[in-house]
Amino acid sequence: MDPQIWLDERGRRCPLPIIALNRAAMEHPAGTVIALLSDDPAATFDVPAWCRLKNATLLSESAPPDGGAGSVFHVQVTAAT
C-alpha cells in the first residue's frame, strides 16, 4: 500500500517524530497510510509502542529509499486512532 503522507523527521529527536506522527494521524481519516522517516534511535521502539497504544497499524519498518540513516515506518491510521 503506497503511503499518502510522507513525514521527513530526520534530525529531530524524541518526542518530535511521534508528535508529528500523531498530528498527521489526527488530521487524516481511517485507512490513511503515513510514511515516517526518522533517524532518532528511540523511534525503533516508540513508533511500534505508539501504534499499540493508539490502535494504529504498523505495516512495515524498512531502510530509507535513499540509503541514508534511520528507518521508514509505514503506519496505517485506524478508526480508533
Partner 1 sequence: MGSNWQPPPGLLDGVGGQPASATAAAAQGAAAALAWADPRSLHHAGRRSDGLLAAARRSIADSVSAAAGTTIHADEVYFTPSALAAQTIALAGCPGPVVMSAVETAALLDLGDLRDHSQVIGVDAAGRVDVGAFGQAAAGKAIAALQLANSEVGTCQPIEHVAAASPGLPILMDATGGLGRIQLPTGWAMLTAGAGGWAGPAGVAILVVRRGGRWGSPPASERGLLGGFADIPGAVGAATALAELSAEQDAQHDQAFANIELLRAGIASKITDVEVLGDGVWRLPHILTFSVLYVSGEALVLELDKRGFAVASGSACVAEEARPSHVLAAMGAYTGGNIRISLPLGCTTETVEGFLDALPDAVAAVRADN
User: Could you tell me the smallest distance in angstroms from the CB atom of residue 2 to partner 1?
Assistant: 28
H or E stretch at 18: helix 16-27
Question: Per-residue x/- mask for partner 1, residues 24 to 53, rule CB under 8 A?
Answer: -----------------xx--xx-xxx-xx
Q: How far is CA 8 from CA 35, 38, 53, 72, 79, in A?
A: 8, 7, 22, 9, 24
User: Could you tell me the smallest distance in angstroms from the CB atom of residue 28 to partner 1?
Assistant: 18
Polymer length in residues for the chain: 81
Chain residues binding partner 1 by CB under 8 A are 13-15, 18-19, 22, 41-42, 45-46, 48-50, 52-53
Active site (catalytic) residues: 14
